[in-house]
Amino acid sequence: MTDVTKSTTSFYEEDTGKTGTFLDANELILNMGPQHPSTHGVLRVILKLDGEKVLGTECIIGYLHRGVEKIAENRTYTMFNPYVDRMDYVAAVSNGLGYCEAVEKLLNIEAPPRANYIRVILTELNRIASHQLWLGTHALDIGAITPLFYTFRDREEILKIYEKFCGARLTTHAFRIGGCSYETYDGFEDNVKKFVKFVTPKIDEYEELLTTNRIWVERTKGVGILSGPDAIALGVTGPVLRAAGVKWDLRKAQPYACYKEFDFEIPIGENGDTYDRYLVRIAEMRQSLRIISQAVEKIPDGPIMAKVPKVIKPPVGEIYHSIEAPKGELGYFIVSDGSTQPYRVRVRPPSFVNLQALDKMVRGMLVADVVAVIGTLDIVLGEVDR
């Protein structure tokens, strides 16, 4: 990325192709973040502005860097499992699923069906929780303060299920390599069914507040457009890609866990603007509910752990396994040297890759749109910086 503060050619020249002087006095370098209400954590965006118009952006990341990938090299496979929860702390369950499945692939074992069902239920609940948090904060960025409280109220029910399941609410560490460490608690199925019943009308309630709201539509339609080819070129995944009309969901494209057994659709958008991304995520919540209710109905009995050796020592080799996290493709590349500790772990975080699209999406838009686009990309800085 170019350093906007030091570039010699102005964005005006780059964008318009006009030569001559664009008075420097008209350009304003605005430092948005790392302390800013709507950069979703500690993202720092340097904006080059002409009045309110954005001429260029540069993202400075790394304020939340904890060296998760390096830590992995000094931990055993089992010990590293809780660390991945801290990357995308909004969707900790998905992170754990991706890591566990990657190591299982490396070990060449498979989780038993019951464990897979529990995994699907919990990750789909997590997708809803993540999308709810996204919706609340995104709406807050655009100025609607009320949806935040509604979504947090409903997300609480999911966290309660987690708390009963494994004792933790946010960084759950719900899965183990080879299955789940806990059997479900008594009444788990009932709780999940009750939740599905509870949250279905609530999603309509969010939509009632926003979908046809004139200001909301004006603020999101045509804002931060990312076309399908552009999105693919940038490696963008998840709802951002699907809103651009590309039907790509790893749950269907490369089914993992037991997603093959469920009947669900992949919602896609048309224009790839902020409004479409909003609609896609709302529809995804509904699809997740569909998956959950199917999974709860047919959850099989049986063991919850595969036969996993006491000391996990995968054979020499490497593996790349990716899952569809709420924010996009979450991939783990693990290199094993045959010891108890991974030689190298590399995470492909969806937030980090999706953040690349920010500059493309906001050039020529207004400052208010930058905030809307950061919100719609649904980034979590813990995952961007790792």
- Could you say which residues in the range 186-215 bind other proteins, by CB under 8 A? 209-210, 213, 215
- Could you say which residues in the range 24-53 bind other proteins, by CB under 8 A? 28, 30-31, 36-38, 51-52
Region binding other proteins by CB under 8 A among candidate stretches 1-9, 16-24, 164-172, 367-375: 367-375
- Could you say which residues in the range 49-78 bind other proteins, by CB under 8 A? 51-52
Give yes or no for a contact between 36 and 15, defined as CB atoms under 8 angstroms apart: no
Task: Please say which residue, 36 or 286, places its beta carbon nearer to other proteins.
Answer: 36
Task: Please say which residue, 26 or 339, places its beta carbon nearer to other proteins.
Answer: 26
Give the CA distances from residue 297 to residues 117, 268, 277, 300, 333, in Å, rounded to whole numbers and listed in that order: 10, 27, 30, 9, 34
C-alpha 75/C-alpha 99 separation (Å) is: 14
# binding residues, other proteins (CB under 8 A): 33
Is the dihedral angle over the CA atoms 152, 155, 159, 160 positive or is it negative?
A: positive
Task: Indicate which single residue of 2, 14, 15, 149 sits in contact with other proteins (rule: CB under 8 A).
Answer: 149
What is the nearest approach in angstroms of other proteins to the Cβ of residue 52? 6
Nearest to 139 by CA among 236, 241, 228, 216: 216
The one-letter amino acid code at 65 reads H
Contacts 24+ apart (CB under 8 A), 224-233: 224/273, 224/274, 224/361, 224/362, 224/365, 224/369, 224/372, 224/373, 224/376, 225/271, 225/272, 225/273, 225/361, 226/272, 226/357, 226/360, 226/361, 227/272, 228/272, 230/357, 230/360, 231/272, 231/357
CB proximity list for 177: less than 8 A, separation 6 or greater: 77, 78, 81, 100, 103, 104, 107, 308, 312
Task: Please say which residue, 142 or 268, places its beta carbon nearer to other proteins.
Answer: 142
Q: Is 221 in the site for other proteins (CB under 8 A)?
A: no
Task: Indicate which single residue of 42, 91, 121, 139 sits in contact with other proteins (rule: CB under 8 A).
Answer: 139
Give yes or no for a contact between 94 and 162, defined as CB atoms under 8 angstroms apart: no
Task: Please say which residue, 150 or 188, places its beta carbon nearer to other proteins.
Answer: 150
Task: Please say which residue, 135 or 304, places its beta carbon nearer to other proteins.
Answer: 135
What is the nearest approach in angstroms of other proteins to the Cβ of residue 222? 11
Task: Indicate which single residue of 1, 145, 233, 316 sits in contact with other proteins (rule: CB under 8 A).
Answer: 145
Region binding other proteins by CB under 8 A among candidate stretches 103-111, 133-141, 295-303, 349-357: 133-141
Task: Indicate which single residue of 16, 108, 146, 254 sits in contact with other proteins (rule: CB under 8 A).
Answer: 146
Region binding other proteins by CB under 8 A among candidate stretches 137-145, 170-178, 261-269, 290-298: 137-145
DSSP 84: H
Provide the 10 A C-beta neighbour count for residue 92: 26
What is the nearest approach in angstroms of other proteins to the Cβ of residue 201? 15
Task: Please say which residue, 29 or 253, places its beta carbon nearer to other proteins.
Answer: 29
Give the CA distances from residue 310 to residues 77, 81, 177, 222, in Å, rounded to whole numbers and listed in that order: 11, 15, 11, 55
Task: Please say which residue, 58 or 369, places its beta carbon nearer to other proteins.
Answer: 369
Would you tell me which residues interact with other proteins (CB under 8 A)? 28, 30-31, 36-38, 51-52, 139-146, 148-150, 153, 209-210, 213, 215-216, 218-219, 366-371
